[in-house]
Each structure stands twice: as C-alpha cells, then as structure tokens.
Amino acid sequence: MRIEVFTIFPDLVSSFASESLLGKAQVNGLLDVRCHDLREHTTDVHRTVDDAPFGGGAGMVLKPEPVVAAIEAADPPRPLFLLGPGGDTLDQDLARSLAASGGFSLLCGRYEGVDQRVVDHWCDGELSIGDYVLAGGEVAAMVVLEAVGRLVPGVMGNDTSATEESFSSGLLEYPQYTRPAEFRGHEVPDVLRSGDHGRVGRWRHAVALARTARARPDLFAHRPLDAEDRTVLGEFGLLDEVERLLA
Ligand code: SAH
C-alpha cells in the first residue's frame, strides 16, 4: 500500500513513518510512505509557500502553485485528502476501509489553511482527526498513517490483535494484565489464571461490556445488549450495573 504525503515538513513525517511498526512494514514492503516537500515546487529564491489572504485578516495561506505543482509532479494515489478540521473525522471504521484500499494521499495544510481552489479542484475529500485546531496537518497525517498502517494485512505480527481490540466489535477492549500476578498488593483477576479458556473468554466479554457502558455508553446506540451479553454479564455479577448505566 502506498501513501503519499504533501507537506512543508517532509522529514518530520518520513522519520515518524520509518520507526517502529510502520518502519518495519516499509522494510518488509507492506507499506510505502512517500513524502513530498512543497517547497521544492516553489519558483522564487525564498521558496515561498504562503501569502496573505485575499479580503484581509490574520495569518497566511498556503499558495496554490507549489501545492498543485507538487501534486502534478507526483501523480499520487487517489483519493487525495486534505487534512483539516472540517473533514470527516477519522474513526476505526474509516481507518479500516482506508487500510483495505490500494493507497491514498494526504495534503498537510499550514498557517490559516490551503487556498480553497486546491481543495475544490485537486483534492477528493477532507479528513479531520478531531474537533480541535492544530498548527499544521503533519501530526494529523501521522495519526492517519499509524491508525491505517497498523491495519494493513501483515503489518501487525499477530493478526488477531486487530480483531479483538477496542472498537473492532463496537466495544472498548477488555483490560490487559501481565506478570507479576501480584503487584504491590494488587492481584490479577483470578479467572485469568484459572486456565479455563471458555470462562476467560466470557469474563473478557462481560468486562468489555461493563467498561464500555461506564466510559462510552454512546457506543451502545448501534449495538444494543443481546441475550448472550446478558448471560455473561449475569455470570460475573455485572448485569444490574450495566442495565442501570444504559437505561
Ligand atoms: N484556519 C483554519 C485552521 C488552520 S490550522 C480553520 O479555522 O479551520 C492549519 C492546518 O492544520 C490545516 O490546514 C490542516 O491541514 C491542519 N489541521 C488543523 N486542525 C486539524 C484537525 N483537527 N484535523 C486535521 N488537520 C488539522
């Protein structure tokens, strides 16, 4: 899968993409992240990428010429998304569908944003990482790269980690524990050391339901409790609490 990123800070994004899981995925040929420097497509000695907004007002705007020249020179995989607070918000479903695509590209804005003609005529959509304003699209691009890259088949060593983690079943994940079994007087739940895999599975399911009901009851809007949920919640004494939280 190829992902191309247009930015005035290509080293920032490419060094991020060369570490850890994404770095390994690139070495293994599962992922190909290419960063393009918008400044390389300027024509003046100062390598100017921004200019004052028409109509006045604070700040500067990314000029269309270097952005479009960079896009045309690269002919990047489509869709090309502008990163911006007005876009569709990235969530796990969107990350999954991007990971299943052949590739896509990201344009990082800076300053007050990008000349709207670039957005209207050269981009295919807009992606946001949440309802807050960043100083540039680079951190957002890194969030997209990581959320999507780890879901590309083969990138995570253990492919089941993606099917059991938070949001994959519409719930938050169950809590995780490792050795030691007792740490400063706090013990790991007995059931996890029982060796009874069926019971461990039912406990994890019940605790994931309870945890989601406490922290993110909104997630139950599209996933109401079913009969099996009620059974496991009952088995571990959590049914009353969860029903109260979701009432
Ligand atoms: N003036 C703009 C914000 C510009 S912030 C406004 O009020 O909407 C500068 C750049 O940071 C944007 O062009 C965009 O590329 C990036 N950015 C800011 N917030 C973002 C967010 N929540 N998600 C993705 N990108 C964001």
Confidence of residue 169 (pLDDT cuts 50, 70, 90): confident
Are 177 and 189 in contact by the 8 Å Cβ rule? The answer is yes
At 39, the pLDDT band (50, 70, 90 cuts) reads very high
Does the CB atom of residue 132 touch ligand 1 within 6 A? yes
Per-residue pLDDT tens digits for 140-168: 999 999 999 999 999 998 766 777 788 88
Nearest to 152 by CA among 5, 6, 32: 32
Which candidate, 139, 12, 159, places its Cα nearest to that of 99?
159
With a 6 Å cutoff on the Cβ, whether 83 touches ligand 1 is yes
Q: Are 7 and 108 in contact (CB under 8 A)?
A: yes
Between the CA of 89 and the centroid of ligand 1 the distance, in Å, is: 12
Contact 172, 216 (CB under 8 A): yes
Q: What percent of the chain has pLDDT over 90?
A: 94
Spatial distance between the Cα atoms of 96 and 11, rounded to a whole number of angstroms? 26
pLDDT value of residue 196: 98
One-letter amino acid identity for 24? K
Question: Is the beta carbon of 128 within 6 A of some atom in ligand 1?
Answer: yes
Give distance in angstroms: CA of 110 to centre of ligand 1.
Answer: 7
CA geometry: angle at 23 spanning 18 and 25, to 5°? 145
DSSP 110: B
DSSP classification of residue 221: G
CA of 130 to the centre of ligand 1 (A): 10
Instruction: Report how far residue 226's alpha carbon sits from residue 206's, in angstroms, rounded to the nearest whole number.
Output: 12
Q: Which of 118, 134, 143, 144 to mutate to test the pocket of ligand 1 (most atoms within 8 A of CB)?
A: 134
Above 80 in pLDDT, residue 42? yes
% residues pLDDT > 70 (the chain): 99
pLDDT for position 168: 83
Check pocket membership of 76 for ligand 1, CB cut-off 6 A: no
Distance CA 168, CA 124 (A): 27
pLDDT (0 to 100) of residue 40: 98
Specify whether the CB–CB gap between 173 and 165 falls below 8 A.
yes
- Angle (CA) 17 92 23, round 5°: 15
Is residue 205 a contact partner of residue 223, using CB atoms and an 8 Å limit? no
Specify the pLDDT at position 163: 78
Task: Give the start-end residues of each E strand in the chain.
Answer: 2-7, 32-37, 50-51, 61-62, 80-89, 103-108, 125-128, 182-183, 186-187
Question: Distance of CA 226 to CAs 93, 197, 223, Å?
Answer: 22, 22, 8
The confidence score (pLDDT) of residue 43 equals 96
Atom 11 in ligand 1: residue holding the nearest Cα: 136
Express each pLDDT in 55-92 by its tens digit: 999 999 999 999 999 999 999 999 999 999 999 999 99
Average pLDDT of the segment spanning 200-211: 98
Q: Report the pLDDT averaged over residues 216-221.
A: 97
pLDDT at residue 21 is higher than 80: yes
Looking at residue 164, what is its pLDDT?
A: 79
pLDDT at 50 over 80: yes
Look over the chain and give the mean of its residue pLDDT values, rounded to a whole number: 96
Using the atom order of ligand 1, give the atom closest to the CA of residue 111: 9
Residue 182: predicted pLDDT = 98
